[in-house]
């Protein structure tokens, strides 16, 4: 880190990239213009490889639609796009032995809106790119949910045919999971973690930029599957084989979309791990790290270990389709349950990938707005680690009725129920942090407190699902739909909102509108509970999930749920209006509007391009509210003041 | 803490518990459908017991959490111009041990009850009737090997007799569920999982596919008719479905 700072002092920082050259040379300059010809070029190369291979092997027809789509459109063209916008330029020069361009940091920071639309190595710009992109996919995913609810408002078929309906909820879930919750947390952490550590950036800024640019590729892939013949992928976000092997072409858009999003997650996670381990400011021991950093540390470990499994599962499904292998095809000796084991070995830890960063945000917000130290800081960090370890030993609780070895159920039930203990510790510690505090119910605190209450309900319904006999009754019913929305919406999304409101002043340099923020919270809170709580009831009553039509006995509740969900959807408009207007015209934010102690609040809003003018010296814990004279870190100004005092 | 605050906390906790209990108990009355369908098998009776056992524990935990959070939100709200900090409490070992130990006991109790019920529900009774269940997109077929492989598209079962369903699928994964029996089993190609049911109430119930199996998934329904043993024998020995 010191070298990076020294380097930046040695070379004066350019105010953004130099202007592009004129004439035809402009086509070689990294950016969308270059991507406009490299993408089709790579598409063509992909087509060429397919045709050549098929000609060489004597396979007719040489031009085979689904293989062309897979190789040329879903693999080669995205690589061409990345090469065009310049994601590989530095590495490419390095790899071919050409003299590398000295790093002048001109690709760092944002000086105009254009700097958000190029490969940018500034973690703060990348954080914003992540957040805006993920919110766009959140809106698309939300609209798909509205369509699902419109169809379900009445029994019978209203608007869509079955295949389209199955596509709607499959793409809804996939976007929300892979393009919203996971990367939105990565985006928040991208902005905040280096600041919290006292670092000038992430450890690998170019890798960081690449991880961002993989995301729009994955998202566009998943959304565009609606346009291909046969419609969008329609076997749920779980894509169980053998069904998914025999679905129309859209399925490979899911198989490949997951690869791009997964690669993005893994790269970001590696980046976080190296950053957190090696780039902490002097004095920042592990036991002095803010809990958000702890949360992202454990999440990154989960991502790095687990994500390759879902990548494998989707490759196998794709191989069964295009290469006629038989990983999951009984006819060729395959094993359908193998898919579920591999899939859930990722997708259960993924539940924690989607929750632990939220725990971190909740800890920051609750401590700051209660004006009290986090209760049981070390136990809070250790319970994150406990969840990490236990999280890998519970995957088969998604498979209690799957037909797997029956003996596996009781051990998996025990580990599943054990996770309630570290999770309970976290909930009780948040409540104890609020106890006797001086609580300020600003918007971030409302979301954090709302999160704790909703997560308790989601956690308790998780106990029902963990107990095997009850799970046998409610598995694959609306009870499960209710549960996952209580943990992913009431849990993850509430904390994402808490984080966005909390760091909005830091990110934009402006304050959001507090009244609109509170309105957004209450509308969402009411709409959320009205939508999802009744789903528990119709689930235990007997309504299965993933159906476009249902028995008439559930008609009243479904109409109620659909109306509530439209109300819930509309509440998002308040959020969008608040964000857009406040970003342009909000009141100027001071450096530390919440009087917080962590490092990101000790610099200006928005922070300087390299975060800290001088490396901060960490001298204490991050949550010492109420301790007279306690400091988390000493910065430039303070240090001078202290020197003056000494003399 | 002052005595008054303890009383207030307890009152809030009792109120929260009462509301949660109402949410648990009122459905089934006042025209609101009950939480669980009327059980029609012995297994369902046991599963419902676990459901209500867990519900009791959950109401207990919910009441405590609700009491503490509502009280905190109500009493510890800062005055608008109050910029002071709260007391710097960093932890309390006794409290932390308590909220590790008590949940451990509760989940252990749930695990034990669940494991016992699971073992009972998986045990097959004396003189079981075997029925082969075959799923395919998008319908169910039932075969009775003890009755000359009699085939039917409606599952007919004698009441109060242990039934072993031996299941398989011809194409993709389906799942067999009768809400009134509470038992559920995925029907997977290539393997033959079994499901044990002891129907104890004569009647007609829906069979629902609960694993997404493609276009016709929502409509992949069938019926199970639980009959008196004599009526079942008579039907089973007839020719034709």
In a domain, A433, yes or no: yes
In a domain, A111, yes or no: no
Residues in chain A with CB shorter than 8 Å from the CB of B115 are 410, 413, 468
Q: Which residues of B touch A473 (CB under 8 A)?
A: 36, 44, 47, 51, 179, 182-184
**Does one domain contain both A80 and A35?**
yes
Give the torsion through C-alpha atoms of A14, A19, A20, A23, to 10 deg.
-150
* DSSP of B178-212: -TTT--EEEE-TT---EEEE-B-S-EEEEEEE-S-
HSE-up of B187 (CA within 13 Å, CB side)?
28
pLDDT for A6 equals: 45
Please tell me whether residues A318 and A463 are part of one structural domain: yes
Query: CB under 8 Å to A384, separation ≥6 — which residues?
Result: A291, A294, A295, A298, A356, A359, A422
Q: Does the beta-carbon distance from A475 to B213 stay under 8 Å?
A: no
Could you tell me if B54 and A412 are in contact, meaning their C-beta atoms sit under 8 angstroms apart? Answer: no
Domain annotation covers residue A634: no
Pair (A90, A125) in one structural domain = no
Split chain A (647 residues) into runs of 10 and give each run's mean pLDDT: 44 67 87 95 96 92 91 95 94 89 82 89 96 97 97 92 94 96 97 96 95 96 93 93 92 95 96 96 95 97 96 95 92 93 95 96 96 94 95 94 93 94 94 94 96 95 96 96 96 97 96 96 97 95 94 94 97 97 94 94 92 90 91 74 49
**Confidence band, pLDDT 50/70/90 cuts, at residue B1:** low
Distance CA B12, CA A437 (A): 19
CB neighbour list of residue A172: distance below 8 Å, 6 or more residues apart: A141, A144, A145, A148
How many helices (H) and strands (E) would you count in chain A? Answer: 23, 2
Whole-Å CA distances, A436 to A375, A380, B8, B71, B78: 12, 19, 15, 10, 10
Q: Cβ B210–A537 below 8 Å, yes or no?
A: no
In a domain, A266, yes or no: yes
Range of the domain at A88: 27-99
Tell me, yes or no, whether A306 and A400 share the same domain.
Answer: yes
**For chain A, how far is it from start to end, CA to CA, in angstroms?**
31
Residue A605 within a domain? no
The structure tokens listed for A324 are 């006629």
Å between B232 CA and nearest CA of chain A: 26
Cβ–Cβ under 8 Å, residues B205 and B40 = yes
Structure tokens at A578: 């608040």
φ/ψ (deg, to 5) at B134: -120, 125
- Our CA dihedral for A377, A378, A381, A383, rounded to 10 degrees, sits at -110
Are A446 and A372 within one domain? yes
Nearest chain B CA: its distance from A15 CA (Å)? 40
Q: Which two tokens stand for residue A58?
A: 């004597």
Nearest chain B Cα distance for residue A134, angstroms: 28
Which CATH number do you get for residue A571?
1.20.210.10
Contact residues, chain A, for B41 at CB < 8 Å: none
H or E stretch at A274:
helix A250-278
CB-CB: which of A375, A424, A542 is closest to B37? A542
A240 touches chain B (CB under 8 A): yes
Beta strands in chain B (DSSP E): 129-136, 139-144, 150-152, 155-158, 163-169, 174-177, 184-187, 194-197, 203-209, 221-227
Q: How far apart are CA A334 and CA B211, in angstroms?
A: 20
In this structure, is residue A145 part of a structural domain?
A: yes
What average pLDDT does this structure show over B141-148? 94
Summary mean pLDDT of chain B: 93
Residues contacting residue A413 through CB under 8 Å, at least 6 positions apart: A397, A400, A466, A467, A468, B111, B114, B115
Residue A255 CA to residue A311 CA, distance in Å, equals 8
Q: Which of A99, A130, A153 is the C-terminal boundary of a domain?
A: A99
Would you state the pLDDT for residue A637?
60
Tell me, what's the ipTM?
0.95
Q: Are A401 and B175 inside 8 Å of each other by CB? A: yes
Contacts of A244 (CB under 8 A, 6+ apart): A233, A235, A251, A254, A317
CB proximity under 8 Å: B 219-238 to A: 219
* Domain match, A59 and A176 both: no
Strand duo B129-136 + B163-169: pairing = parallel
Q: Tokens at residue B89, please?
A: 């409490």
Instruction: Choose among B52, B91, B65, B93: nearest CA to A424.
Output: B65
pLDDT confidence of residue A109: 86
Q: What is the pLDDT of residue A1?
A: 39
- Interface touch A456/B65, C-beta < 8 Å: yes
> How close, in Å, is residue B25 to chain A by CA atoms?
12
How many pairs of residues across A and B have Cβ atoms under 8 Å apart?
Answer: 249
C-beta atoms surrounding A147 within 10 Å: 16
A476 contacts chain B (CB < 8 A): yes
CB contact under 8 A, A626 and B183: no
Residue A593 belongs to a domain:
no
Statement to judge: residues A314 and A429 lie in one domain = yes
Residue finishing a domain among A64, A99, A134: A99
Let me know whether A414 and A350 are in one domain. Answer: yes
**Closest-approach residue (CA) in chain B for A337:** B188
Q: Which domains does chain B have, with CATH numbers?
A: 3-76+92-122 (no CATH), 129-237 (2.60.40.420)
Assess A469–B contact: CB distance below 8 Å, yes or no.
yes
| Higher per-residue confidence, B28 vs A586 | A586
Q: Domain total for chain A?
A: 2
Smallest Cβ–Cβ distance between B208 and the set A246, A370, A544 belongs to: A544
A61 and A123 assigned to the same domain: no
Question: Could you say which of A99, A126, A144 is where a domain stops?
Answer: A99
Pairing of strands B203-209, B163-169: unpaired
Asked if A95 and A129 sit in the same domain, the reply is no
Positive or negative: CA dihedral A512, A518, A524, A527: negative
Q: Whole-angstrom distance between the N-terminal and C-terminal Cα of chain B?
A: 73
Same structural domain for residues A209 and A74? Answer: no
Q: Does B214 touch chain A (CB under 8 A)?
A: yes
For A558, the token pair is 């479904």
**If contacts are CB pairs under 8 Å, which of residues 177-196 in chain B contact chain A?**
177, 179, 182-191, 193
Tell whether B94 is within 8 A of chain A (Cβ). no
CA distances from A448 to A190, A500, A589, B33, B95 (A): 20, 11, 21, 34, 23
| Domain annotation covers residue A356 | yes
- What is the rounded CA–CA span in Å between residue B163 and residue B40? 13
A468 and A537, same domain (yes or no): yes
């Amino acid at each position: 880190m010191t070298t990076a700072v020294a380097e930046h002092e040695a070379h004066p920082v350019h105010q953004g990239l130099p202007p592009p050259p004129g004439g035809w040379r402009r086509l070689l300059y990294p950016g969308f213009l270059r991507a406009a010809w490299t993408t089709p070029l790579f598409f063509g190369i992909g087509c060429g490889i397919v045709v050549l291979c098929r000609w060489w092997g004597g396979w007719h027809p040489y031009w085979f639609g689904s293989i062309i789509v897979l190789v040329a459109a879903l693999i080669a063209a995205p690589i061409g796009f990345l090469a065009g916008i310049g994601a590989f330029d530095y590495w490419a020069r390095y790899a071919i032995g050409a003299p590398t361009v000295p790093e002048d940091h001109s690709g760092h920071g944002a000086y105009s809106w254009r700097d958000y639309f190029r490969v940018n190595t500034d973690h703060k710009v990348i954080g914003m790119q992540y957040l805006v992109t993920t919110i766009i996919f959140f809106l698309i995913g939300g609209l798909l949910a509205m369509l699902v609810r419109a169809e379900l408002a009445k029994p019978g078929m209203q608007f869509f045919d079955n295949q389209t309906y199955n596509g709607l909820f499959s793409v809804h879930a996939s976007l929300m999971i892979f393009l919203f919750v996971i990367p939105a947390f990565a985006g928040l952490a991208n902005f905040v973690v280096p600041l919290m550590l006292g670092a000038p950036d992430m450890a690998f800024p170019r890798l960081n930029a690449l991880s961002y640019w993989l995301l729009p590729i994955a998202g566009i892939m998943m959304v565009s599957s609606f346009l291909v013949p046969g419609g969008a992928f329609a076997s749920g976000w779980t894509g169980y084989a053998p069904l998914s092997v025999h679905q129309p072409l859209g399925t490979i858009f899911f198989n490949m979309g997951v690869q791009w999003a997964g690669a993005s997650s893994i790269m970001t996670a590696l980046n976080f791990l190296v950053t957190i381990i090696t780039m902490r400011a002097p004095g920042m021991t592990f036991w002095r790290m803010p809990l958000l950093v702890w949360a992202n540390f454990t999440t990154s470990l989960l991502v790095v270990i687990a994500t390759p499994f879902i990548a494998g599962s989707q490759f196998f499904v794709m191989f069964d389709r295009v290469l006629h292998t038989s990983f999951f095809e009984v006819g060729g000796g395959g094993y359908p349950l193998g898919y579920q084991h591999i899939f859930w070995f990722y997708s259960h830890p993924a539940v924690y990938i989607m929750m632990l960063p939220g725990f971190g945000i909740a800890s920051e917000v609750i401590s700051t707005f209660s004006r009290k130290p986090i209760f049981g800081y070390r136990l809070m960090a250790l319970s994150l680690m406990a969840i990490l370890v236990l999280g890998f030993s519970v995957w088969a609780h998604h498979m209690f009725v799957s037909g797997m070895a029956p003996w596996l159920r009781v051990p998996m039930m025990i580990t599943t129920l054990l996770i309630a203990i570290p999770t309970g510790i976290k909930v009780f510690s948040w409540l104890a942090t609020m106890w006797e505090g001086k609580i300020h119910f600003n918007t971030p605190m409302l979301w954090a407190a709302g999160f704790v209450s909703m997560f308790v309900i989601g956690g308790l319904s998780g106990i029902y699902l963990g107990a095997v006999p009850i799970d046998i009754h409610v598995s694959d019913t609306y009870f499960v739909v209710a549960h996952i929305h209580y943990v992913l919406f009431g849990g993850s999304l509430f904390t994402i909102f808490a984080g966005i409101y909390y760091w909005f002043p830091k990110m934009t340099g402006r304050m959001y509108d507090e009244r609109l923020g509170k309105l957004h919270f209450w509308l969402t809170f009411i709409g959320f509970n009205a939508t999802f709580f009744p789903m528990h009831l119709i689930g235990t009553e007997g309504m299965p999930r993933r159906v476009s039509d249902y028995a008439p006995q559930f008609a009243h509740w479904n109409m109620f749920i659909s109306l509530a969900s439209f109300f819930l959807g509309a509440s998002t408009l308040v959020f969008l209006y608040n964000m857009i207007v406040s970003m342009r015209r909000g009141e100027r934010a001071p450096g530390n509007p919440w009087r917080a102690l962590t490092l990101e609040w000790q610099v200006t809003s928005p922070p300087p391009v390299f975060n800290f003018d001088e490396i901060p010296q960490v001298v204490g814990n991050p949550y010492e509210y109420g301790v007279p004279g306690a400091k988390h870190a000493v910065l430039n100004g303070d240090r001078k003041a202290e020197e003056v005092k000494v003399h | 803490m002052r005595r008054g605050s303890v009383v207030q906390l307890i009152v809030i906790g009792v109120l929260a518990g009462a509301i949660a209990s109402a949410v648990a108990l009122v459905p089934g009355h006042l025209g609101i459908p009950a939480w669980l369908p009327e059980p029609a098998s012995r297994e369902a009776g046991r599963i419902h017991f676990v459901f209500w056992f867990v519900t009791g524990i959950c109401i207990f935990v919910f009441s405590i959490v609700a009491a503490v959070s509502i009280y905190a939100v109500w009493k510890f709200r800062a005055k608008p111009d109050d910029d002071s900090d709260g007391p710097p409490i960093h932890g309390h070992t006794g409290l932390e041990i308590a909220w590790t130990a008590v949940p451990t006991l509760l989940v252990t109790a749930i695990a034990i009850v669940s494991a016992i019920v699971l073992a009972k529900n998986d045990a097959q009774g004396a003189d079981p009737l075997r029925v082969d269940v075959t799923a395919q997109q998008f319908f169910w077929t039932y075969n009775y090997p003890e009755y000359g492989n009699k085939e039917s598209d409606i599952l007919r079962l004698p009441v109060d007799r242990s039934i072993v369903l031996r299941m398989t699928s011809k194409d993709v994964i389906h799942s067999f569920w009768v809400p009134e029996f509470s038992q559920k089993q995925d029907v997977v190609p290539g393997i033959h999982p079994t499901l044990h049911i002891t129907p104890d109430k004569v009647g007609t119930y829906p069979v629902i596919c609960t694993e997404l199996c493609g276009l016709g998934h929502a409509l992949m329904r069938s019926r199970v008719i639980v009959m008196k043993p004599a009526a079942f024998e008579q039907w089973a020995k007839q020719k034709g479905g």
